[in-house]
Amino acid sequence: MNTLKDVQELIAQRAAQEITPFATVNLGIGIPTLIAKYADSDKVFFHTENGMLGVGELKHPSNFDPGLVNAGKLPVAEETGASYFHSADSFAMIRGGHVEMAFLGALQVDESGFIANWAVPGKNIMGVGGAMDLLSGAKKIIITTNHCTKNGEPKLVKSCTYPITSTRKVNTIITELAVFEFVNDRLKLIELMPGVTLEEVARNTEADYEINWRKESK
Partner 1 sequence: MDKIRTAEEVMQNVKSGDTIMVGGFGLVGAPLTLIDELTRQEVNGLTIISNNLGEAGKGLGILLRQGKIKKAIGSYFTSNREVGDHFNIGKLEIQLMPQGTMSESIRAGGAGIGAYYTKTGVGTELAKGKEVRVINDENYLYEEALKANVALIKAQKADTLGNLIYYKTTRNFNPIMATAADYVIAEVDEIVEPGELLPEEIVTPHLYIDAIVKSKLILTREGVVER
Sites of contact with partner 1 (CB under 8 A): 21-22, 24, 45, 47-54, 64-70, 73, 78, 80-88, 90-99, 119, 124-133, 135-137, 163-168
Instruction: Give the nearer residue to partner 1 in terms of CB position, either 31 or 201.
Output: 31
Instruction: Give the nearer residue to partner 1 in terms of CB position, either 33 or 175.
Output: 33
Which of 146, 70, 134 is closest to 102 using CA atoms? 134
Cα 8 to Cα 79: distance, rounded to the nearest angstrom: 25
Instruction: Give the nearer residue to partner 1 in terms of CB position, either 20 or 197.
Output: 20
Query: Is the distance from CB of 214 to CB of 138 less than 8 angstroms?
Result: no
Which of 13, 3, 4, 37 is closest to 174 using CA atoms? 13
The least CB distance from residue 25 to partner 1, in Å, is: 10
The least CB distance from residue 23 to partner 1, in Å, is: 10
Count, residues in the chain? 218
Who contacts 194 (Cβ-Cβ below 8 Å, separation ≥6)? none
The least CB distance from residue 19 to partner 1, in Å, is: 13
Instruction: Give the nearer residue to partner 1 in terms of CB position, either 29 or 196.
Output: 29
Annotated active-site residue 49? The verdict is yes
Amino acid at 134: L
Instruction: Give the nearer residue to partner 1 in terms of CB position, either 128 or 202.
Output: 128
Amino acid at 202: A
Query: Is the distance from CB of 198 to CB of 211 less than 8 angstroms?
Result: yes
Q: Which of 9, 18, 49, 100 is catalytic?
A: 49
47 C-beta neighbours (distance < 10 Å), count: 27
The least CB distance from residue 28 to partner 1, in Å, is: 12
The least CB distance from residue 208 to partner 1, in Å, is: 22
Cα 83 to Cα 56: distance, rounded to the nearest angstrom: 12
Which of 2, 14, 1 is closest to 145 using CA atoms? 14
Instruction: List residues with catalytic annotation.
Output: 49
